[in-house]
């Protein structure tokens, strides 16, 4: 009944539009109007049918606006995942699946609700992750570089933060008795994950080695220490990511043969083990695979001294690291045992790093893995009681241009269409008589070609150079290729434009439209009623 009703409605609306658009004011009113029956509305195509289904799906979300309807919340953050990154990743994933790519949909693009987030910090048009993530998890915008404090705090000034401390959604969830988790492919002490659990006027105070004398004198502690000594509820239940070096002394060598960063002599990993005697600490794929989600409630995974590997490089990692989708599945298996629900933040941190390096292949491969992690969540939870939000903290100066023909490899040289609209066989040349790629960067390190055998983060390796290069015989689709950049900088920069918000589940419709980034917290709070439940539990 519903489908036929929607179809009749679409016919009526379309008929009215046709009459309004193509009516002739000078036409004799006595002339008969063509009968609607001359159009065979039964011959709809896939575009029309998909549009009908989208209307139905969107209508269903209207029934899930009640405050506190979300038992669970999952916040997915693609660090640096600009709208152009989403578009390119969609095409990239589709082409990996044998399609032309443009028609493909990433898992979160199927969500019934979409909107935009304004990403500026209170002191910068183009933001950083510290200020943007603080806004998302605390409901208050703040300065670039500042974590967990309001905008009156000064960056790297501990004393200025007094009275400016913010409460985060993960802290509220812990107070409300929910299980909690923080996952990232970056260092777990990096700005985005750190904003969920710490207060620091300087994002670079990841361990005590960077703390200033002023910070120590005024009682500020480093981010790693705040994670292990997290005092809300019974502590964060699942923590997985990189950044092992910030948790043990410089005199200690870890499993990778790398020394720690701490100067205070503390081994925070040992302290975590002593605090959670029934918890499990893991540092590689083998240990991760051995985790029995049914019997364990506390997991601390640090899989790399610094950031975890890019997805394309994980196969070359000797110790082995779990993928983001594997970490997501394991975390959900652990957290979902709590009858009061859970809050989970999942960050794909290396999308951002690939952009800074000007290396689109690694960016898109990590975005595709991020998409897999989101699909894992969709498949694992009850969407009638789980709010899933997918967004980014900021964008990057990553562009798509050049009029490539449909299905042209997204990382390839541009081949356009002829005057009849048919694909050309040869790549098109610019005014400098050289070919160019569809994707590129406004600024950054610029062109480099490391070939298909390249591994690891090459962003500070030579040779790199901004400007235009002859690419006819270069393997521009390989993961070792770094795109050209116009303005030469030591690292490609963030961008200031809005980023997408994609949502499904209770409260999702609160995120339609264009929002201040801080509104994401308030939508989560309404959906899960975190403040009221936290207060009731105290």
Instruction: Supply the residues annotated as catalytic.
Output: 129
Residue 186 belongs to what H/E stretch? strand 179-187
Separation between Cα atoms, residue 396 and residue 194, nearest integer Å: 21
Exposure b/e, 189-221, CB count within 10 A at least 16 = b: bbbbbbbbbbbbbbbbbbbbbbbeeebeeeebb
The single-letter DSSP state of residue 38 is: G
411 close to 449: Cβ distance less than 8 angstroms: no
Output the CA angle 373-375-380, nearest 5 degrees: 95
Q: Tokens standing for 211?
A: 């703390």
Report whether the peptide linkage leading into residue 444 is cis, meaning its omega lies within 30 degrees of zero: no
Residue 356 belongs to what H/E stretch? helix 350-357
Q: Tokens standing for 220?
A: 């500020």
At 79 the three-state DSSP class reads: coil
Pick the closest to residue 323 from 332, 310, 335 (CA basis): 310
Sign of CA dihedral 277, 283, 287, 288: positive
Separation between Cα atoms, residue 205 and residue 218, nearest integer Å: 14
Pick the closest to residue 279 from 295, 293, 300, 298 (CA basis): 298
Separation between Cα atoms, residue 44 and residue 52, nearest integer Å: 10
Which residues touch 456 (CB under 8 Å, ≥6 apart)? 309, 310, 313, 316
Separation between Cα atoms, residue 441 and residue 484, nearest integer Å: 6
Q: Tokens standing for 196?
A: 């969920």
DSSP string, 373-391: HHHHHHHHS-TTSEEEEEE
Separation between Cα atoms, residue 469 and residue 466, nearest integer Å: 9
Q: What is the separation of C-alpha 215 from the centre of its chain, rounded to a whole number of angstroms?
A: 31
Pick the closest to residue 78 from 119, 139, 138, 123 (CA basis): 119
Polymer length in residues for the chain = 538
Q: Tokens standing for 284?
A: 């590689």
214 close to 159: Cβ distance less than 8 angstroms: yes
64 close to 384: Cβ distance less than 8 angstroms: yes
Separation between Cα atoms, residue 370 and residue 451, nearest integer Å: 24
């Amino acid at each position: 009944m519903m489908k036929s009703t929607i179809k009749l409605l679409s016919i009526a609306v379309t008929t009215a539009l046709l009459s309004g658009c193509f009516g002739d004011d000078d036409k004799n009113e006595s002339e008969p109007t063509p009968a609607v029956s001359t159009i065979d509305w039964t011959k709809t195509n896939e575009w029309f049918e998909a549009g009908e289904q989208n209307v139905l799906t969107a209508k269903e979300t209207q029934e899930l606006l009640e405050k506190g309807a979300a038992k669970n919340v999952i916040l997915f953050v693609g660090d640096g995942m600009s709208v152009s990154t989403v578009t390119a990743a969609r095409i990239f994933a589709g082409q990996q699946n044998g399609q032309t790519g443009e028609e493909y949909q990433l898992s979160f693009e199927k969500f019934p609700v979409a909107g935009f987030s304004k990403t500026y910090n209170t002191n910068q048009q183009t933001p950083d992750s510290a200020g943007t993530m603080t806004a998302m998890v605390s409901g208050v915008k703040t300065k670039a570089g500042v974590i967990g404090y309001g905008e009156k705090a000064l960056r790297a000034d501990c004393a200025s933060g007094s009275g400016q401390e913010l409460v985060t959604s993960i802290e509220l969830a812990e107070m409300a008795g929910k299980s909690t988790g923080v996952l990232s492919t970056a260092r777990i002490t990096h700005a985005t994950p750190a904003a969920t659990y710490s207060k620091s006027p300087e994002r670079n105070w990841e361990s005590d080695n960077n703390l200033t004398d002023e910070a120590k004198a005024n009682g500020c502690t480093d981010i790693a220490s705040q994670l292990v000594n997290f005092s809300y509820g019974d502590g964060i239940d699942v923590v997985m990511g990189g950044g092992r070096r910030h948790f043990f002394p410089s005199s200690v060598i870890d499993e990778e043969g790398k020394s720690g960063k701490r100067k205070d002599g503390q081994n925070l990993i040992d302290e975590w083990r002593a605090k959670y005697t029934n918890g499990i600490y893991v540092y590689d794929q083998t240990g991760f695979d051995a985790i029995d989600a049914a019997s364990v409630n506390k997991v601390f995974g640090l899989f790399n001294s610094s950031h975890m590997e890019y997805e394309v490089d994980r196969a070359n990692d000797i110790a082995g690291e779990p993928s983001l989708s594997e970490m997501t599945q394991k975390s959900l298996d652990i957290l979902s045992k709590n009858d009061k629900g859970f809050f989970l933040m999942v960050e794909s941190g290396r999308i951002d790093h690939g952009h800074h390096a000007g290396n689109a292949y690694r960016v898109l491969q990590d975005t595709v893995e991020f998409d897999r992690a989101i699909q894992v969540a969709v498949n694992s939870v009850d969407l009638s009681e789980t709010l899933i939000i997918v967004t980014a903290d900021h964008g990057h100066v990553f562009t798509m241009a050049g009029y490539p023909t449909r299905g042209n490899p997204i990382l390839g040289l541009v081949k356009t269409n002829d005057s009849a609209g048919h694909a050309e066989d040869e790549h098109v040349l610019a005014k400098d008589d050289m070919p160019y790629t569809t994707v590129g960067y406004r600024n950054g390190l610029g062109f480099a070609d490391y070939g298909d055998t390249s591994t690891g983060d090459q962003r500070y390796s030579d040779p790199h150079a901004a400007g235009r290069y002859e690419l006819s015989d270069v393997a521009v689709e390989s993961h070792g290729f770094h795109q050209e950049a116009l303005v030469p900088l030591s690292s490609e920069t963030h961008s200031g434009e809005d980023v997408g918000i994609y949502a499904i589940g209770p409260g999702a419709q609160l995120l339609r439209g264009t929002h201040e980034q801080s509104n994401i917290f308030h939508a989560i709070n309404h959906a899960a009623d975190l403040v009221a439940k936290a207060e009731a539990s105290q």
